[in-house]
């Protein structure tokens, strides 16, 4: 049992679709399977294009996300808040299927509240929230399409976790998930440092999300930030993406004469008129005659080439005659 929820250890012979009242229902998966067996098309699942980043700075943690909710080529909302409160000191943001992410957050929030009351209303550790989410995702074998960033502060300091849909977890000082995570991660890797101040961390998170929004069609809107400090104070600064010109970390400025020329090869290039005046291959052009004039046309009989394959046989006959 996991906080009153049945696990797969109780049902070893049953599939994860039939694992009891756990807050999730997979009836639609069985329905889609039956539709495919009957030759019908499976309905499309609604996924959201998201860019979410998390940064640990000197004094807390920051979670940033954009505010566009999409499904394919349709934009449902431009002001969607994707950073959700799990506890007063723990916040999370998810990417993946919207309904799965919402159900996962609601179930985790209820379990954390029960855990807080059972432990004498103390501050819930951030690792506890991450452990609940990863166990639930691992129990369903990746059938819950939700990648989560969990960040917060407790009595041991600020913490940041990145948990994927298969239950694997990373603990890192900065991370990024969603459809625009690659561009955001490049910004974080080039500018993050251990002694970041809160203002620098906010600017870095805003620039990372803005870069993901610029290079991802499913991300857009405005940048929402959630700052959780180690003194358990929370701030929600909303910033518009700044227009940051692209910068090159290592400027390429080779000096003249650095590369030595080892050899030079010149290929003659003829113009089209010069190529037309070239002689035919296999013969020489006599002066005063066109390139297309053959020997038969000039009254000369071309010499007949002997077949090299017949020469050994002729020599053998000659030797036999002698």
102-112 pLDDT per residue, tens: 889 999 999 99
What pLDDT sits at residue 297?
46
Q: What is the mean pLDDT of the chain?
A: 77
Coil, strand or helix at 187: helix
What pLDDT sits at residue 93?
93
Second CATH level (architecture) for the domain 46-239? 4-Layer Sandwich (3.60)
Coil, strand or helix at 108: helix
Active-site residue flag, 50 = yes
223-229 vs 51-57, strand pairing mode: unpaired
| Residue spans per domain, the chain | 46-239
Structure confidence at residue 81 as a pLDDT band (50, 70, 90): confident
Buried b (16+ CB within 10 A) or exposed e, 208-239: bbbbbbeebebbbbbbbbbbbbbeeeeeeeeb
Q: How many CB atoms lie within 10 A of CB 50?
A: 28
Residue 296 has pLDDT above 50, yes or no: no
When pLDDT is averaged across residues 144-150 and rounded to a whole number, the result is: 91
pLDDT tens column, 159-215: 999 999 889 999 989 999 988 888 899 999 999 988 899 999 999 999 999 898 888
Kindly state the tokens that stand for 182: 């690659």
pTM across the whole model: 0.62
Residue 276 has pLDDT above 50, yes or no: yes
Q: How many CB atoms lie within 10 A of CB 94?
A: 29
Which of the following is catalytic: 47, 50, 70, 97? 50
- Percent pLDDT > 70 in the chain is 69
Q: Which has the closest alpha carbon to 163: 223, 214, 90, 255?
A: 90
Residue scoring higher pLDDT (112 or 297) = 112
CB 61 within 8 A of CB 198: no
């Amino acid at each position: 049992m996991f906080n009153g929820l049945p696990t797969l250890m109780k049902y070893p012979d049953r599939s994860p679709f039939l694992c009891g009242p756990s807050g999730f229902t997979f009836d639609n998966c069985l329905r889609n399977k039956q539709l495919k067996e009957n030759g019908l098309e499976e309905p499309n699942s609604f996924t959201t294009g998201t860019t979410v980043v998390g940064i640990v700075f000197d004094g807390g943690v920051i979670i940033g996300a954009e505010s566009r909710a999409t499904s394919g080529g349709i934009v449902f909302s431009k002001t969607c808040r994707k950073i959700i409160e799990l506890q007063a000191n723990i916040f999370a943001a998810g990417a993946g299927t919207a309904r799965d992410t919402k159900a996962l957050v609601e179930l985790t929030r209820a379990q954390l509240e029960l855990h807080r009351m059972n432990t004498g209303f103390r501050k819930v550790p951030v690792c506890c929230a991450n452990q609940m989410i990863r166990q639930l995702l691992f129990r369903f074998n990746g059938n819950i399409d939700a990648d989560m960033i969990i960040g917060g502060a407790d009595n041991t300091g600020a913490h940041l976790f990145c948990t994927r849909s298969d239950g694997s977890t990373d603990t890192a000082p900065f991370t990024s998930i969603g459809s625009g995570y690659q561009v955001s991660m490049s910004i974080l890797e080039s500018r993050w440092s251990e002694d970041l101040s809160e203002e620098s961390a906010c600017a870095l998170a805003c620039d990372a999300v803005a870069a993901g929004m610029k290079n991802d069609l499913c991300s857009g809107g405005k940048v929402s930030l959630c700052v959780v400090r180690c003194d358990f104070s929370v701030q929600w600064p909303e910033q518009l993406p700044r227009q940051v010109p692209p910068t090159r970390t290592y400027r390429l400025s080779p000096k003249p004469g650095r590369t030595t020329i080892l050899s030079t090869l010149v290929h003659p290039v003829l113009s089209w008129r010069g190529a037309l005046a070239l002689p035919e291959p296999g013969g020489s052009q006599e002066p005063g005659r066109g390139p297309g004039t053959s020997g038969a046309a000039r009254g000369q009989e071309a010499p007949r080439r002997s077949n090299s394959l017949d020469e050994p046989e002729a020599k053998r006959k000659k030797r036999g005659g002698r």
